[in-house]
Amino acid sequence: MHVTTVIIGAGHAGLAMSRQLTDRSIDHVVLERGEVANSWRTERWDSLRLLTPTWHLGLPGDDGPADTDPDGFLTVPELVSYLDGYAATVAAPLHTGTTVTRVGATDTGYEVTTDRGTWTCDTVVLASGSNNVAALPAAAEGVPDDVTSITTARYRSPDDVPDGGVLVVGASASGVQLADELARSGRSITIATGEHVRMPRTYRGRDAFWWMERVGVLDERYDEVDDIIRARHTPSPQLVGSPGHGDIDLATLQQRGVRVVGKLGRLRDGRAQFSGGLANTVRLADLKLNRLLERYDTWAAEEGPGDLGDPHRPEPTTVDASPRIEIDLAREGIRTVLWATGYRPDHSWLALPVLDYKGRLQHDGGVVAGAPGVYVLGSSLLRRRRSTYIGGAGQDTAELADHLVGHLAGRSTPPRNAAPEPVSPR
């Protein structure tokens, strides 16, 4: 079977690219190992809501979920329903239940091997996402046999966790949300805290994403960042999409009785050892937060509307002066370690010279190096900071689809920058 383009993955990015290629009369197929939005269906906990407000979710040719509160936050079933509807609306040529096992080069293009046949094509779009495999630290190998080890992809609710205390490793969005949920269930929780991004849900009466849109944070481009590899691995902000629009950070967790310790160093002989630099870690997060809020205040003074609230800053984070640097899991009654340490992509099925010595996919804003006509979508800070979120797929796919058309026509020019999308007037 031959087609001009094979898109691998039917999440929001793959579906958005399908719409862009249809608009450009490029014949293509979308191959998906499960169903539409498969990772959202199978690898998310029950209470999860999106970090981004609904008004921020529009995809190409679509204004976002209908009949929902634009300032609210979708549940996972609501998002899956939206993406199912979007796939039908754009008439994406889907092949679900189709697992790609190899992508290799041919004399004229590429060969995509699946468990349901082989496709040849001129171009390939890798839209399978960057959250394929849990990125566990070496310390994970030291979890005792009598302690449950679970990743966020396998966690669904407190009922999945054995009785007893829980050590949550990681304090980005997932870590703080699950530490909070487990503490609410009555568990004794310890959270191991490394680098994190503190961010209030609302500031001066407006949502965090309202500010990032207005000030231009989300439009900062990948080629304007000093250290792009580090920037792409920055933890997700400590936000939660709760109906009450409340904050979640180390301060709110401590108010709920959660014990905060430093970054996990190692687990050995039933003992967890932590960095002693917790105070410096939280001080750095507070410093970055205040720099961001200062940027907001400067914009508000020069260009902002007149109905913004007072510029009240969150209080500095306080932690124990001498936090624990070692914990005996058995003695402290910790029966579970929950890993909220992020994910990494799995590119083991790519038989192409596109990975660096660390196994990372090499690309320039989504244009894969070493394989002309191959593109990647769906990763953090792919082309700009908004690429990290669902609403960033529109601009990313427009620019890369134009580059793909140019490649097919024999032109190898960098993707142009699409005009910024209009933002909600809210």
pLDDT digits (tens, 9 = 90+) for 206-237: 999 999 999 999 999 999 998 998 999 899 99
pLDDT band, residue 425 (cuts 50/70/90):
very low
Q: How far apart are CA 332 and CA 323, in angstroms?
A: 15
Q: How far is CA 419 from CA 159, 219, 396, 403, in A?
A: 47, 11, 11, 15
pLDDT given at position 197? 97
Write down the pLDDT at residue 308.
96
Q: Residue 185 has what pLDDT?
A: 96
User: pLDDT at position 132, please?
Assistant: 72
Indicate the CATH number for domain 137-339. 3.50.50.60
Q: Is the pLDDT of residue 160 over 50?
A: yes
φ/ψ (deg, to 5) at 23 = -65, -25
Residue found by looking up tokens 């899991």 in the block: 329
Rounded Cα distance between 31 and 377, Å, is 14
User: What pTM, to 2 d.p., does this model score?
Assistant: 0.93
Same fold, 2-132+345-408 and 137-339: yes
Query: Which CATH number applies to 2-132+345-408: 3.50.50.60, 3.40.50.300, 3.40.50.2300, 1.20.210.10?
Result: 3.50.50.60
Q: Write down the domain spans for the chain.
A: 2-132+345-408, 137-339
Reported as a single tens digit per residue, the pLDDT across 327-375 is 999 999 999 999 999 988 889 899 999 999 888 899 999 999 999 999 9
